[in-house]
Structures are given as structure tokens and as C-alpha cells.
Amino acid sequence: VWLNTAHQGALPVRAAEAAATAVRWKQAPHCLTGDRFHDIPERLRARLGGLLSVPPDEVILANSSSYGLHLIVEGFPWRQGDEVLLVRGDFPSTTLPWRRLQEEGVRLRFLEPSGGHLQASEVDAAIGRHTRLLCTTWVHSFTGHTVDVTAVGAVCRARGVAFVLNASQGVGARPLRPLELPVDAVTGVGSKWLCGPYGTGFCWLTPAFRDRLRCRRTNWLSLYTVADLEGDCTPDLPDHLRARDLDLFSTANFFNFLPWIAALEVLESSGLEAIAERDQGLVQRILDGLPRASYRLLSPAAGPLRSTLVFLTHRDPRRTPGLYARLTDAGIDVSLRRGHLRVSPHLYNTEQDIDRVLEALAGGA
Ligand SMILES: Cc1ncc(COP(=O)(O)O)c(C=O)c1O
């Protein structure tokens, strides 16, 4: 029983078939046609654009959420003395990329949310004269709390601070429409709630934010088609940075991107609203069936802060690691994170899966 999508999403059958197709193409390389080199990235961009309700040509193709954050670290016009706000205890993908900036005189300041999760008022109080950017995860990997993006982003906009969101633990489990939110950049990993292979991800930047970046990566596949190679390909660089100019290199990444396209089509055919409803129904079943006399729920029980990451602990916390071992022995996969159990169901889980974990928890109470 896989109840650990916060670690890895399961690849849908259709996506596994697409992966097999990509392997066959490579076994018979004449199948790797020029058209396919061009089409695969564009089909993926279209799927991601649809999923996020953004124009596909604003989507950057990546291999992780870290990739997009590094683009911003590299390209943002930093000045000596600038400050970046981060959140203490956040997942390292969200905090690590900025560390190198300290060598360039950029200060990192870690917010310590008093209630355990980031509040807009705390962001407002923390922003100072030199604050240029705030980066946080949307859904916290170790608490299951969801950041109120509208409230935090509104503060950032009002104070002229760029707002960068790592949406990895939420995107795919519920709708995310960046154009309707006060965010400048969104990054995400593909291998969790988006059910893609490991080594997939995306980044979306507002065109205005992208224009501020100084990166100039020149990847031949983003400039030319295979047919263009007939010409002399004089390096005429675009004077305007497009999203595709920031794509991961080897963009026609057949083994990963062909199955990811298929996985995204599966999500799209269900619809993110319906997936969110289903996932939240599974979360509710865990909360309703949890033997409260023995266990404490640590993640939000209801409301907009609740996510699909459910954190539990035994009332005697010393017993939680033993319970984790008990679940593993019973063939039930959850995570043990910072001493607590993390159960994270997604669309392929059934009510029976939830009942199995509840039975095992009751048995170990
Ligand atoms: C919030 C968050 N971001 C990112 C990742 C994965 O990192 P990356 O996308 O850089 O591989 C994880 C993985 O657990 C995560 O919890």
C-alpha cells in the first residue's frame, strides 16, 4: 500500500507504456526523428501550461524544483547588501540554492514562524529596506501546512518584494493558477503529485520577472529545429529572453518527458478539482478513523491550510518510530519525517488502503 506520494508519485499505466515506447525509439534510433525532438518538449509545455492555466510559452522545462530556483539565483540582478527571506525548517530544495549568494554579499534571513507556519503578518513585519525576495514552499514537507499564497503574496507585492513559490508538495493534488495569484515565480517537481518519472520538474515566471533575469543560456534545441541545421545556424541570439531559452538542456528528454506527458494527460482527464476532492476525501477518512486516544494529529485538521500531507504521532512520541516499523512490516509505505508519521494519499489510493493503515495504527496503539 503506497501512501507516500509526498516522496514519490506512482507512474500511471499509460505513462509506463509511454516510457516503453521511448525505450523502443532508442532501440531503433531512426524513430528519434527530427519532428520528435521538436514535438516532445512542446507537447510537455502545452500539458504543463494547461495544468497551471498559463500560456505554454511561459513554461520552463526542468528536472526538479531546484532547477528553477537556481535560474533565479543565477539571473536575478543582485546588489551587495540585498536580503532574501527564507523559512527556518523548510525543505532544503527551497533554501539551499540561495546559500551561495552569501559569497556575493547577499544576506539570507530565516523567518521563524511563531505558530509553526508562515503568516502574512510575519512576512510584513520582517520585510526591510534591503529585502528583495521571499522564497517558501507552498505545502510544508515536514508539517503538512499550506501557505496562504494570496495573503503572503499580497504583502510581498505591496512591499515590492519578489515572491517565489516551491509548489512541489501541492501541485497535482489541487489546482494552482499562478496567474490569479500574487506570485512572481513557481517551481515544482514532477515526480510527486504530478506522477511523472524521477528527474522531471517545471518553472513558471511572470514575463515581467523573467525580463529582470540576466541569465543567457544558449541551448541549440531552444533556438533551432533539426531542420534548421540545414542552414548555417549563425548564432543570432534572441534579444529577448524567452521561457524556452531557460529550459533544461537536452530538452527532448524522451525517457522522462514522454511518460510525463502521458501522466499529465491522465491527471488532466480526471481534472485537478476532482483529484483534489478525491484526495481530500481520503485525508478525511484518515482523520475520521484515527484512534485519537492514542494518536495526535499534527497537520491541519480542516480548512484551507490542510493539504494531502497528514502528520501523526503517538501520544507517547517515543513509540512513533516503532509504529513506522510496524507499518513497513505490514507492507504499508508511509514516511517517518522528523520523528512523525507522514501519510500522503493520492488519486490511485483506495478507501481500503486507508482502512489498512488505520487498522495497523489501531493494532499498534
Ligand atoms: C518541498 C519539496 N521540494 C522539492 C523536493 C524535491 O527536490 P527537487 O525537486 O529539487 O528534486 C521535495 C522532495 O521531497 C520537497 O518536499
Q: What is the per-residue pLDDT across 182-229, written as a single tens digit (0 to 9) for each?
A: 999 999 999 999 999 999 999 999 999 999 998 767 788 877 888 888
- What does the angle CA 97 – CA 340 – CA 188 come to, to the nearest 5 degrees? 30
Answer yes or no: is the C-beta of 95 below 6 A from any ligand 1 atom.
no
CA of 126 to the centre of ligand 1 (A): 25
What is the average pLDDT across 13-20? 98
Tell whether the torsion through CA atoms of 227, 233, 237 and 238 is positive or negative: negative
Query: Residue 239 — very low, low, confident or very high, per pLDDT cuts 50/70/90?
Result: confident
The yes-or-no verdict on residue 356 having pLDDT over 80 is yes
CA of 338 to the centre of ligand 1 (A): 16
What is the structure's pLDDT at 215? 75
**Pairing of β 131-137 and β 162-166:** parallel
CA of 64 to the centre of ligand 1 (A): 7
The yes-or-no verdict on residue 24 having pLDDT over 70 is yes
Spatial strand order of the sheet with 131-137 comes to 59-62, 201-205, 185-189, 162-166, 131-137, 83-87, 107-111
CA of 361 to the centre of ligand 1 (A): 28
Per the listing, cell 488532466 goes with: 268
Tell whether the torsion through CA atoms of 294, 299, 304 and 307 is positive or negative: negative
Answer yes or no: is the C-beta of 166 below 6 A from any ligand 1 atom.
yes
What is the structure's pLDDT at 229? 85
CA of 201 to the centre of ligand 1 (A): 10
Q: Are 198 and 10 in contact, with CB atoms under 8 Å apart?
A: no
The 10 Å CB-count burial string (b at 16+, else e) for 163-193 is bbbbbbbbbbbbbbebeebbbbbbbbbbbbb
Q: What is the pTM of this model?
A: 0.96
Residue having the nearest C-alpha atom to atom 2 of ligand 1: 168
What is the structure's pLDDT at 216? 67
Q: How much is the mean pLDDT over the chain?
A: 95
Which of 70, 71, 91 to mutate to test ligand 1, by most ligand atoms within 8 A of the CB atom?
Answer: 91
Q: Among 343, 215, 224, which residue's Cα sits nearest to residue 289?
A: 343
- The set of long-range contacts for 218-225, using a CB threshold of 8 Å and a minimum separation of 24, is 218/245, 219/245, 219/247, 219/249, 219/251, 221/37, 221/41, 221/247, 221/249, 221/250, 221/251, 221/252, 222/247, 222/251, 225/34, 225/37, 225/38
Nearest-angstrom CA–CA distance, 139 and 327: 24
Query: Residue 350 — very low, low, confident or very high, per pLDDT cuts 50/70/90?
Result: very high
What is the average pLDDT across 134-139? 98
Least confident of 119-128, 201-210, 258-267, 356-365: 356-365
Q: Among 57, 50, 54, which residue's Cα sits nearest to residue 267?
A: 50
Answer yes or no: is the C-beta of 307 below 6 A from any ligand 1 atom.
no
The yes-or-no verdict on residue 313 having pLDDT over 70 is yes
What is the average pLDDT across 55-75? 97
Which of 61, 164, 169, 336 to mutate to test ligand 1, by most ligand atoms within 8 A of the CB atom?
Answer: 169
What is the average pLDDT across 333-352? 97
Per the listing, cell 523573467 goes with: 210
Query: Residue 235 — very low, low, confident or very high, per pLDDT cuts 50/70/90?
Result: low
- pLDDT tens column, 115-127: 889 999 999 999 9
What is the structure's pLDDT at 240? 80
Answer yes or no: is the C-beta of 191 below 6 A from any ligand 1 atom.
no
Residue 32's Cβ-count burial label (10 Å; 0-12, 13-18, 19+) is middle
